Homo-oligomer: A and B are copies of this chain.
């Protein structure tokens, strides 16, 4: 057995073993050697136009695939993915950032090499703020251990990590450790006594409750707990709502599925049922402002059992060392009997059969109704930030995992690059991108990347001429955008199909043509009135208006 291994070879092997098949990035001279290695490996390198696109794509890939990798050059590459790495941190996404760097042999007497900022470790210091673990692989003796430590932390904590590989270390040989690396993503051991007590107390509360509800948060998908949650819900007959960040974690057609709970943003029936529950089982829920409908939510901690990857709270006291997996399994294994289900699904707004086509101008509400009717099991919705996100809340996807959005960190420009990753990781899915014109002007050109790799997302641009969600807060010319002719993007890229949509009839025709166009991406320029908003955003605005 080999006692040493090339550093890059080792990294590639571990990435493949962790289920990675695609790496996103833009090459640069400090990372070219690694690109060559990647390119010659079973991994596929996906070149985006800008590093930002690669960062968003790697994030989306990680959400769907369990690990995503973005590979960039030093400084001018690495620092361009600071924001997307922050997104992965905030939303608990296992992304590994690999950055090239000047060779160790080049660093004698601290020369001013291009792409250098202050010191050679400046970029790593930046990423220490944005990741759960980081390592510079400057010394073959410790390089593999550093890489293992970062990769394992990424997989365990579902947060981004950072490794920096000097270009003269790519082919350097490093000693293999005696044993195999620690199992990727192994859980930390729990505290059995604390678990037993927490389970006992929780079971009592659930048994005593008249109207228990499960609220599922973003961590459930990240930590792969979906099946346990469903098993528990079915066993005790308790309905399930989800936070916006967890939309589509639970199949939205499941009889126990209620809808998205997001304070006033969400459906009123879901909201009142959740808020009036006498036993609220919050599973992996991040109590973010957006998830809570900008604080229009009213969740009583005194009636809650709140399990996250970091701790478990029952009412106002906390348990350490109680992992979500153990806790869920403990509840499933216990005999608690079935609850009487007090929830009846209301007639959902968007599931109403849509009226006949109209020549009238398209509205945001009708756009989402039509899109809802358009969804099939092979369509994955990717929502960007703004009313594209709010409006998508009411959509009903037919399969778990068919929805993606950065609903907490809410960085504009996520959706187009994310759609690329959705289709690469799940070629059987057709991404449907909902994106505002502001977000599209940031990263929409990554449709070039879609075209390059033969992908065919359907992109719906909600074109209302500006940052429409900001207008009701404070308006001014700074909320305006230059009106691009989005449907003419194919002329610039030499690929794709474009549509102008001003009426409902045109929308139906364009969606149908886009569906049939499997050869390339399709882009729909949906022209909306500047002051028109989606029903969820209207609900929220009304509630906020009442509050002041």
Contact = CB atoms under 8 A, between A and B. Distances in A.
A483 B494 CA distance: 8
A474 interface: yes
Contact of A114 (B39, B289, B481, B492): B289
B129 A474 contact: no
Contacts of A449: 482
Interface in A472-505: 473-474, 476-486, 488-489, 491-495
A12 to B, nearest CB: 15
Contact of A443 (B50, B87, B126): B50
Given A114-B290, A118-B89, A473 B83 contact: no
A358 interface: no
A122 B129 contact: yes
Interface in A24-80: 27-29, 32-33, 35-36, 39, 45, 47, 49-50, 52, 75-76, 79-80
A86 B79 contact: yes
A458 to B, nearest CB: 19
A232 interface: no
Contact of A36 (B408, B410, B474, B482): B474
A76 B410 contact: yes
A226 to B, nearest CB: 22
A319 B176 CA distance: 50
A442 B54 CA distance: 12
A315 B36 CA distance: 43
A3 to B, nearest CB: 29
Contacts of A410: 76, 114-115
Contact of A478 (B29, B45, B111, B473): B45
Contact of A489 (B35, B52, B492): B492
A470 interface: yes
A384 to B, nearest CB: 12
A113 B489 contact: no
Interface string A82-100: 1100110110000000000
A279 interface: no
B493 A484 contact: yes
Interface residues of A, number: 77
A340 interface: no
Nearest to A480: B47
Contacts of A28: 470
A482 B114 contact: no
Copies in the complex: 2
Interface in A3-34: 27-29, 32-33
Interface in A282-319: 286-290
Interface in A395-412: 408-412
A410 B28 CA distance: 11
Nearest to A385: B76
A323 interface: no
B408 A114 contact: yes
A448 interface: yes
A35 B480 CA distance: 13
A458 B449 CA distance: 26
A511 B489 CA distance: 25
A85 to B, nearest CB: 8
A46 to B, nearest CB: 9
A382 to B, nearest CB: 17
A117 interface: yes
Contacts of A493: 482, 484-485
A451 B271 CA distance: 46
A130 interface: yes
A125 interface: yes
A413 interface: yes
Given A130-B122, A470-B32, A448 B452 contact: no
Given A33-B474, A83-B75, A130-B122, A485 B494 contact: yes
Contact of A125 (B52, B129, B474, B479): B129
Kindly list the 5 A-B residue pairs having the minimum CB-CB distance in the complex, ordered from nearest. A79-B83, A76-B411, A112-B288, A49-B441, A82-B82
Interface of A: 27-29, 32-33, 35-36, 39, 45, 47, 49-50, 52, 75-76, 79-80, 82-83, 86-87, 89-90, 111-118, 122, 125-126, 129-130, 286-290, 408-413, 441-443, 445, 448-449, 451-452, 467, 470, 473-474, 476-486, 488-489, 491-495
24 contacts: A27-B478, A29-B470, A36-B476, A39-B478, A47-B481, A52-B52, A75-B83, A75-B411, A111-B287, A111-B289, A112-B286, A113-B288, A114-B289, A114-B290, A115-B410, A115-B411, A117-B129, A122-B129, A441-B445, A441-B448, A448-B484, A449-B482, A482-B493, A488-B491
